[in-house]
Structure 1
Amino acid sequence: MPVFAVVLSMLLTGSLPPLRLHPANERYFEFRGKPTVLVTSGEHYGAVLNLDFDYVRYLDELQSRGFNLTRTFSGTYRETPGSFKIEHNTLAPKPGRYASPWIEKGGKYDLDAFDDAYFRRLKSFMAEASKRGVVVEYVLFCPFYEDGLWTVSPMNAQNNVNRIGDCPREEVFTLKHLKLVDRQLAFVRRAVAELNAFDNLYFEICNEPYFGGVTLDWQKKVAETIAAVEKGLPNTHLIAQNIANGSAKIDKPDPNVSIFNFHYASPPDAIRENRGLSRPIGFDETGFKGTADAVYRREAWEFLLSGGAVFSHLDYSFTIDHPDGTAKIVDPTPGGGGPEFRRQLSILKKLIDGLDLTKTRPINARLASRDGGARPVIGLVDTGKPLYAFYASAGPRAKFSFMLPPKAYKIEWIEPATGAVVKTERVDVLDAGAETVMESPEYRDDVALRISVDAG
């Protein structure tokens, strides 16, 4: 029986839960019986709402790289050609090629009538992702960053037959306009019910709610609605909340929220500041640092080796004409991606997959600085093996000092861009109270260090 058929059978019989927090380490996930982190380099969130996008070829590319995540916007928000200077933006469908959750009638939408064709496309996308082991972060809403985006929204009163949504864009996602809120929550209930059978799913309340006037009480209402609907359904799915760009300390987490997402989360301070939550922390969008690979590769290594559970790179090489991610990315598109970056990111994914995440935790080492001092470096230790992984980007050499338990160890220096082991040595640690010093070979951009018990 095909793997997908086995998984589907297990899900339907209730023996396999949807993506969930791992019961042995709730900073990470369990998916289809295995501990996991979610890693991807994915398209600009228009796979479902853009009718011209070939999501099968797109998902094939993610699977080929060993990636297990994609973000997709629900269709309550879309962009227009030229938005944010993005060339060939998948989130900006051509005229007549926009898939909205609501039926369009004579050029206007009916917020009381859902489009069954939209939900068929959505569930087809979910099924194709499931076959390939790809988890979908289904983003329910997104603020309208500028007036032009609000002008084309079905929720704008000028675009719907219900004459609902006669308000400024900054008030769309508040509790000020109850008729509009009612329609938003009706959509949430329909989407949650339609997707309940899928195990490869979690919901994000709203993309970047810290823009455009989105209020916390409105976000809380959406999360409560998701939870209430699923109480009467077979499956329960995780809910994510997008907290901030960069970092912020979460003081009063919503009890219905399990995943806390940050955009542009470099350096990975969000993990350190929120470690006490014991929940997955996600780096949910990259960009605005040019089109080269090295900066985004560094962000991925630093975040995941600091204990992050999600790394979602925004990859602009996926377009309508190149759904396999082979489009050339040129300025002024505000980010990077492409086949070479995905190859590099897959190296990191394989390293993380080699850890037992139920026994993995962040750990500190010291990295000698050029001025003769030392700065802390965060890495991961799998205490079950044990196996240690560290990363450095300040060259041309890295000198780590670290206290290891007495054993014989294999030291491997890895080039993150290629995965090549560029130096191997053996170290015998005899004194439990002494630091072991390890010096890398010379490198250009970055280097990774893997320390494992020497079996031979």
Structure 2
Amino acid sequence: MRMSSLVLFCLIGAAFPINGKRLEICPQHPYYFRDGGRHVVLVGVSDRALFTIWKNDKGFSWRKYLDDLAVHHLNYVRQDVFSWGALRGAAEYPAQLSSSARLFARTGPGKAIDGKPKFDLTQFDQSYFEQRLKPFLREAAKRGIYVELTLFEGFRARSDFKESLYAEANNVNRLGLRPGEVTSDTALGNRRLTAIQHAYIDKVLAETAQFRNVIYEIANESGGRRWVAHLIDYIHNHPTHPSRLVSAGEQTTSFDPRTGANDIVVKHRGKGGLYATDTDVRNHHAALLRFRVGKPVCHNEYFLYANASTDDVNFPRKMMWADFTAGGHSNFFDFTFWRGTGRTLNDGQPSRSPPSEILRGGQYLLDFLTENEVKFWTMAPHDELATVEGKRKPYVFTLAAPGKEYICYVLGDGSATITLQLTGGPAGRRPADFTARWYDPKSGRFLTPAHRIQGKDRNFFQSPNSKQDIVLYVRD
């Protein structure tokens, strides 16, 4: 018997208050999460610098940020716990960063490079936790949103390190650090630094332990192999607030998240290339597949404009579906719209919601799962089951529970013909009857009525004429 859409809406957890036991990796289906009785696939849009921006003179509000996500049923954000660097940012971009704050106390003596008292990295500013971190996590949970908290940045570049809290000119702790050392393996030999990093983790864990919607990421694109492994172990075995929702972050060092003790695998580029074309989408889909080793895989950062990326606002939707059909989770990084910038850091734009093509791209994916009672947690990537032909060389990605349910995401313009194998169910099972429909991920509606077919080795499906992408949905 099929469950009602309302019941399955609760199972998926999109834009639904988080009242379960606590987010965890599903033991039976370890590529997905579970919260009480709800299975969860994460799809989101976020600005990593939320806690620094908070509420700015360009019209940004952290509550509006959460409301934008909730009204579009999105359930995943990635946030830096705070900014370890960019101390001159508030002076350079005063409207964008008009309410910036840090979680360490500014005690002095002496002035940091921004002209304010130096930081003491052994003392915390409790107001940061009470007025920013905890209210955000609480309100996110009310809106059904899970929050990935990034703990550290590496500051490999000399100019970035100079503006960081680690630099000798900005703190009173005499750590004697150089660029590239703060998250390297050499950091483990600096006892004062290690004590500060441990105390910081202790504090974050203590302040966030009450919340059921938190994932921890060690570092953004940095971290020595031993340093990352040490901090994963530190959180796993924490005496008072351990967690088994820890990712290493995207790694640029020899730490391998596929074989490490991290619970979640994070992918950024992951040798998938740029974020510009449909070919790049295909390459990132293939890259995510290579990271599947029995752990959830989160593609938690891709973007527009920067680093030779596209300016096509349809690109994030394509990436979301490509990640989903690779059995992964997806999060678009917006550093343009909410905070009130443009294609450069400060071109005079006001704060505004990301374009509907981005927000609705994630919404319609999650709504598709809810409204069609898709048991995604029982499905796996099966690109080998489908091929596609069309005048403009389309691509097809397939997530399936063979013999039961198939989602074929077709990337490309025009009409396409999919050849799909539907006889891969349990051994000895007779060919089953299926229904097939075409779904438009841009409008969130089906384009054709369901029609019955009998499963066989080669089933042919002709799509309606479409632009950019279309989805074939087949189920028994």
Q: Which amino acid aligns with 2:264?
A: I
Compared with structure 1, are the counterparts of its residues 290 and 122 closer, same or farther at alpha carbon in structure 2 (3 Å cutoff)? same
Q: What residue in structure 1 maps to residue 415 of structure 2?
A: 397
Mapping for residues 12-161 of structure 1, pairs under 5 Å? 16-43=20-47, 45-52=48-55, 54-79=61-86, 93-94=97-98, 97-106=99-108, 107-120=117-130, 121-161=132-172
Q: Which amino acid aligns with 2:22?
A: P
Residue pair 1:29, 1:37 contacting (<8 A) in 2 also: yes
Mapping for residues 267-282 of structure 1, pairs under 5 Å? 267-275=284-292, 277-282=293-298
Give per-residue Cα distances to partners, 1:310-347, cap 9 Å, x unaligned: 20101235435xxxxxx68446899x942332012211
Structure 2 length normalisation: TM-score? 0.78
Q: Which amino acid aligns with 1:435?
A: R
Residue pair 1:24, 1:358 contacting (<8 A) in 2 also: no
Give per-residue Cα distances to partners, 1:124-159, cap 9 Å, x unaligned: 111111111111101000122533322222221111
Compared with structure 1, are the counterparts of its residues 32 and 329 closer, same or farther at alpha carbon in structure 2 (3 Å cutoff)? farther
Provide the C-alpha distance between the structure 1 equivalents of 2:472 and 2:89, rounded to a whole number of angstroms. Answer: 42
Q: What residue in structure 1 maps to residue 174 of structure 2?
A: 163
Mapping for residues 369-380 of structure 1, pairs under 5 Å? 369=389, 377-380=396-399
Match of 2:368 among 344, 351, 354: 351
Q: What residue in structure 2 maps to residue 13 of structure 1?
A: none
Residue pair 1:189, 1:225 contacting (<8 A) in 2 also: no
Q: Which amino acid aligns with 1:368?
A: V
Match of 1:297 among 307, 313, 317: 317
Q: Which amino acid aligns with 2:463?
A: S
Residue pair 2:220, 2:249 contacting (<8 A) in 1 also: yes
Provide the C-alpha distance between the structure 2 equivalents of 1:346 and 1:441, rounded to a whole number of angstroms. Answer: 22
Shift in Å, 1:429: 1.3
Residue pair 1:317, 1:338 contacting (<8 A) in 2 also: no
* Unpaired stretches in structure 1, ≥5 consecutive residues: 11-15, 321-326
Q: How many residues align?
A: 413
Compared with structure 1, are the counterparts of its residues 363 and 206 closer, same or farther at alpha carbon in structure 2 (3 Å cutoff)? same
Shift in Å, 1:426: 2.0
Matched, 1:313 2:329: no
Provide the C-alpha distance between the structure 2 equivalents of 1:282 and 1:330, rounded to a whole number of angstroms. Answer: 26
* Unpaired stretches in structure 2, ≥5 consecutive residues: 1-9, 11-15, 109-116, 273-280, 348-352, 424-430
Compared with structure 1, are the counterparts of its residues 332 and 130 closer, same or farther at alpha carbon in structure 2 (3 Å cutoff)? closer
Match of 1:262 among 267, 271, 280: 267
Shift in Å, 1:282: 0.9
Matched, 1:339 2:385: no
Q: Which amino acid aligns with 1:46?
A: A
Mapping for residues 155-234 of structure 1, pairs under 5 Å? 155-164=166-175, 166-176=176-186, 177-209=190-222, 214-229=223-238, 231-233=239-241
Residue pair 2:320, 2:361 contacting (<8 A) in 1 also: no
Provide the C-alpha distance between the structure 2 equivalents of 1:370 and 1:396, rounded to a whole number of angstroms. Answer: 7
Provide the C-alpha distance between the structure 2 equivalents of 1:304 and 1:333, rounded to a whole number of angstroms. Answer: 33
Provide the C-alpha distance between the structure 2 equivalents of 1:51 and 1:302, rounded to a whole number of angstroms. Answer: 31
Shift in Å, 1:100: 1.5
Residue pair 2:88, 2:163 contacting (<8 A) in 1 also: no
Shift in Å, 1:367: 2.3
Provide the C-alpha distance between the structure 1 equivalents of 2:438 and 2:264, rounded to a whole number of angstroms. Answer: 33
Q: What residue in structure 2 maps to residue 442 of structure 1?
A: 465
3-state SS of 1:271 partner: helix
Shift in Å, 1:80: 6.3
Q: CA RMSD in A?
A: 3.2
Structure 1 length normalisation: TM-score? 0.81
3-state SS of 1:171 partner: coil
Matched, 1:243 2:250: yes
Q: Which amino acid aligns with 2:119?
A: Y
Residue pair 2:106, 2:120 contacting (<8 A) in 1 also: yes
3-state SS of 1:355 partner: coil
Q: Which amino acid aligns with 1:355?
A: V
